[in-house]
Structure 1
Amino acid sequence: MAAPRSGHRTVVTPDRYAEVLRHLRHVVADLDAGDRLPAERELAGTLGIGRAALRRVLGDLAADGLVETRHQSGTYVMAASSCVRALGGRGRREGPVREHPPAHL
């Protein structure tokens, strides 16, 4: 990851952007339809990216039908069938069911 600029901004390289996008695709695939993602500020901090970059990632996930952002409410996982289609037909990954996103987002 690139060094932060003044004003506490983090430069997100195309490789880092793709890495975060890929990571969130898999996180969302492990969640249930209707689950709410953490708040933007929290999620951006956890991922080590700025909120503007996170919004671009969430916009890409929304365009793929994986999530829906509701004004002043949050970002929610869409129906499981949308997730399966967006991930190329792969269903949920094996493993325990989680009620909340993992702490390492």
Structure 2
Amino acid sequence: MLHHTKAAAAVLAIGLAAAGIAGCHNDDNAPATTTNTTNPDGRVTVTKTVHPTDVARSNLNKATDKAKKDVDDLRKDANDTLKDVRDNFRETVTVTETPAP
């Protein structure tokens, strides 16, 4: 059941990130801007405004990378489980011949 939950979470994350890209409007196509503000104490504050599609695309890439890792982990778990089943099957199935009376 845990495997199904991980897979479903990965698909959901990708879907939400893709929906974020699809939900961006054409009027949001303003370029990213960076503003530097010098504070009275001399420190500089940098404020960066990014396009919503860039944020959504970044989220999609992160979700896709995580999903790939989750799938690899699930594949490894499945292979380990299959190996355990095969090993246990070999251990439990024994043939004993007894001489005829």
TM-score normalized by the length of structure 1: 0.24
Structure with bigger gyration radius:
2
> Which has more strand, going by share of residues?
2
